Amino acid sequence: QVQFVESGGGLKQPGGSLRLACAASGSAFRTLTVAWYRQAPGKQRELVATRTPSGTTDYSNSVRGRFTIARDNAKNTAYLQMNALKPDDTTVYYCDANPPSNHWGQGTQVTVST
């Protein structure tokens, strides 16, 4: 049983950067694949990035080359480094396992606008 709390969102101009953090509780954190999701208005929840316990990563086509997922098992924390932000990145971001538990929290809002 792992719970997640997201933070680090905010307002940025196009081309800017943000680093999101996901604080996890539970001893199983290091054994699961951690993932970042986002859900824009009128769209289904999108799987953005994943990282396995062995370090294998995968990204959606829309963020590949711009976003990087990382984890720090000592801190029970996952991160999403977002560079070259675009207005289309604007939405609420969530962290969870993959496959997800579907116990979604509040997420953290990212807004990219001029």
72-91 pLDDT per residue, tens: 999 999 999 999 999 999 99
- The answer to whether the CB of 62 falls within 8 A of the CB of 88 is yes
pLDDT at site 69: 98
- Of residues 15, 9, 5, 14, the one with CA closest to residue 75: 5
Task: Name the β-bridge partners of 58.
Answer: 50
Judged by DSSP in three states, 75 sits in helix
User: Average pLDDT over the chain, rounded to whole?
Assistant: 95
Question: Per-residue pLDDT for 62 more than 80?
Answer: yes
pLDDT at 41: 79
Is residue 103 predicted with pLDDT exceeding 90? no
Whether 34 shows a pLDDT value over 90: the answer reads: yes
Widest CA span of the chain, in angstroms? Answer: 42
Residue 1 has pLDDT above 80, yes or no: no
Q: Residue 18: its pLDDT value, please?
A: 98
Confidence (pLDDT) at 2: 84
What is the average pLDDT across 9-19? 98
